[in-house]
């Protein structure tokens, strides 16, 4: 069972974005310090490189920066791709030097071919370095292109090795906590939104246009941010020795995200239905007064279930209570069938949304129900 805490009810885009950014402040600060330390080490060691490499010490700190990535696996991938791009770029320049002198034509040719090769997706971060390396060798290296090429690649490699070493030895980042907090924020946002919808249904009808009617985009943005955080957490565990010390099964979190993504879709649809009933947009529909109270009770009970799941205190009883509240709306629709099909279409659609929402969340809730001692 996950350990969760209650979230704040502020669902504004600014507040949601601030929360998502706050989780990244400390890892980013640590990464900045580690990069600065590695750059200092690289700058001290660069002049000690043998041969002509000591003439180009400024490339070693650049190599450190290339290897500084939010995750250890990302650092390795970024560094290897960059070095591959450099080698290809240097090879292009070497081919030109073998057959002719650097000129406007040959420089343009190397850059053009480098840009074409840079279109290879597998090169990743190294794509931009192919034409840059070729250009630097021809223009900066000039008559000393051989020495420059050796120094360029050697110093970049030194910086990459130092950057990776520092990243590995000094608290290699794990992004699991940020991902788990993101899931909690999404649960809290959904629960709060359902509660606000219930309040709108209980208010004088039609209610004043409130923030709840505009939360669809915010919920979608939060969902996207959580999926990105989970992907980063997954990558951060790869080849990371700390992952063995702090084991965490992200498959459960991916399952929860999939369920919450479905729930978000149903909540957005529910919101559109109620907005159409209240103000005629996006699609005008009717919502009779007799059906609003049971629908409000069902939305509030569903929101309570989502909040309880977020805090880790959920129970099957709460889930069954919400399902019973949704069933009560269906019964109310049946009892007022004399209102006609057009009058009950909105309530039926909203009821289906809540039914499917609870069905999407049930597997995760059942999994997380505390086992009696």
Confidence at residue 27, expressed as pLDDT on a 0 to 100 scale: 74
Confidence at residue 370, expressed as pLDDT on a 0 to 100 scale: 75
Confidence at residue 373, expressed as pLDDT on a 0 to 100 scale: 56
Mean per-residue pLDDT over the chain, rounded: 86
Q: What is the pLDDT of residues 50-76, one digit of tens each?
A: 888 889 999 999 999 998 888 888 889
* Percent over 90 (pLDDT), the chain: 53
CA–CA distance, 97 with 143 (Å, rounded to integer): 9
CA–CA distance, 112 with 101 (Å, rounded to integer): 17
Given a cut of 80, whether residue 13 has pLDDT beyond it is no
Confidence at residue 51, expressed as pLDDT on a 0 to 100 scale: 85
DSSP state of 282: S
CA–CA distance, 274 with 299 (Å, rounded to integer): 12
* Percent over 70 (pLDDT), the chain: 92
Given a cut of 80, whether residue 24 has pLDDT beyond it is no
Planar angle of CA 218, 220, 224, nearest 5 degrees: 115
Tokens 């940020």 -> residue: 178
Q: What DSSP string describes 324-346?
A: HHHHHHHHHHHHTGGG-HHHHHH
pLDDT bucket at 141, cuts 50 / 70 / 90: confident
Confidence at residue 372, expressed as pLDDT on a 0 to 100 scale: 63
207 or 166, which is more confident: 166
Mean pLDDT of all residues in 326-337: 93
Q: What is the pLDDT of residues 146-173, one digit of tens each?
A: 899 999 999 999 999 999 999 888 888 7
CA–CA distance, 325 with 312 (Å, rounded to integer): 22
Q: What is the pLDDT of residues 113-123, one digit of tens each?
A: 999 998 898 89
Q: What is the pLDDT of residues 216-272, one digit of tens each?
A: 778 888 899 999 999 989 988 888 888 888 888 889 999 999 999 999 999 999 999
Confidence at residue 158, expressed as pLDDT on a 0 to 100 scale: 95
Confidence at residue 266, expressed as pLDDT on a 0 to 100 scale: 95
Residue among 170, 136, 165 at smallest CA distance from 67: 165
CA–CA distance, 277 with 347 (Å, rounded to integer): 10
pLDDT bucket at 131, cuts 50 / 70 / 90: very high
Confidence at residue 291, expressed as pLDDT on a 0 to 100 scale: 93
Given a cut of 90, whether residue 38 has pLDDT beyond it is yes
Confidence at residue 5, expressed as pLDDT on a 0 to 100 scale: 37
24 or 114, which is more confident: 114
Confidence at residue 371, expressed as pLDDT on a 0 to 100 scale: 67
Planar angle of CA 284, 217, 200, nearest 5 degrees: 50
Among 37-46, 100-109, 300-309, where is mean pLDDT lowest?
100-109
Long-range contacts of 366-373 (CB under 8 A, 24+ apart): 366/316, 366/319, 367/252, 368/1, 368/2, 368/309, 368/312, 368/314, 369/314, 369/315, 369/316, 370/1, 370/312, 370/313, 370/315
Q: Is the CB of residue 90 less than 8 Å from the CB of residue 137?
A: yes
Radius of gyration of the chain (CA): 29
Half-sphere exposure of 10 (CA within 13 A, CB side): 8
In this structure, the dihedral spanned by the alpha carbons of residues 52, 54, 55 and 59, taken in order and rounded to 10 degrees, is: 110
pLDDT bucket at 354, cuts 50 / 70 / 90: very high
Q: Is the CB of residue 217 less than 8 Å from the CB of residue 337?
A: no
Mean pLDDT of all residues in 92-112: 87
Residue among 102, 28, 2 at smallest CA distance from 368: 2
Mean pLDDT of all residues in 1-26: 43
Confidence at residue 360, expressed as pLDDT on a 0 to 100 scale: 96
Confidence at residue 69, expressed as pLDDT on a 0 to 100 scale: 83
């Amino acid at each position: 069972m996950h350990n969760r805490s209650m979230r704040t009810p502020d669902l504004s885009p600014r507040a949601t974005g601030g929360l998502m950014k706050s989780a990244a402040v400390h890892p980013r600060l640590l990464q900045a310090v580690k990069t600065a330390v590695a750059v200092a080490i690289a700058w001290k060691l660069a002049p000690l490189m043998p041969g002509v490499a000591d003439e180009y010490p400024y490339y070693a700190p650049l190599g450190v920066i290339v290897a500084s990535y939010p995750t250890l696996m990302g650092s390795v991938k970024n560094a290897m791709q960059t070095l591959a791009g450099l080698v290809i770029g240097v090879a292009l320049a070497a081919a030109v030097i073998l057959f002719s002198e650097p000129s406007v034509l040959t420089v343009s040719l190397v850059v053009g071919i480098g840009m074409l090769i840079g279109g290879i997706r597998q090169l990743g971060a190294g794509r931009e370095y192919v034409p840059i390396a070729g250009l630097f060798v021809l223009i900066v290296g000039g008559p000393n292109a051989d020495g420059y090429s050796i120094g360029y690649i050697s110093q970049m490699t030194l910086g990459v090795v130092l950057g990776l070493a520092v990243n590995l030895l000094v608290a290699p980042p794990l992004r699991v906590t940020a991902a788990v907090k993101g899931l909690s924020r999404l649960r809290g946002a959904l629960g709060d939104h359902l509660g606000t919808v219930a309040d709108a249904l209980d208010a004088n009808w039609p209610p004043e246009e409130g923030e709840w009617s505009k939360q669809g985009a915010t919920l979608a943005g939060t969902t996207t941010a959580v999926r990105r955080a989970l992907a980063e957490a997954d990558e951060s565990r790869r080849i990371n020795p700390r992952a063995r010390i702090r084991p965490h099964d992200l498959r459960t979190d991916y399952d929860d995200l999939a369920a919450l993504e479905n729930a978000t879709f149903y909540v957005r649809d529910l919101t559109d239905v109620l907005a159409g009933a209240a103000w005629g947009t996006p699609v005008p529909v009717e919502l009779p007064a007799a059906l609003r109270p049971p629908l409000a009770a069902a939305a509030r009970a569903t929101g309570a279930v989502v909040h309880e799941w977020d805090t880790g205190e959920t129970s099957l009883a709460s889930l069954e209570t919400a399902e019973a509240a949704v069933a009560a709306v269906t019964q109310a629709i049946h009892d007022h069938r004399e209102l006609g099909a057009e009058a009950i279409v909105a309530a039926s659609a909203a009821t289906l949304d809540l039914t499917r929402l609870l069905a999407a969340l049930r597997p995760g809730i059942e999994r997380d129900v505390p086992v009696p001692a």
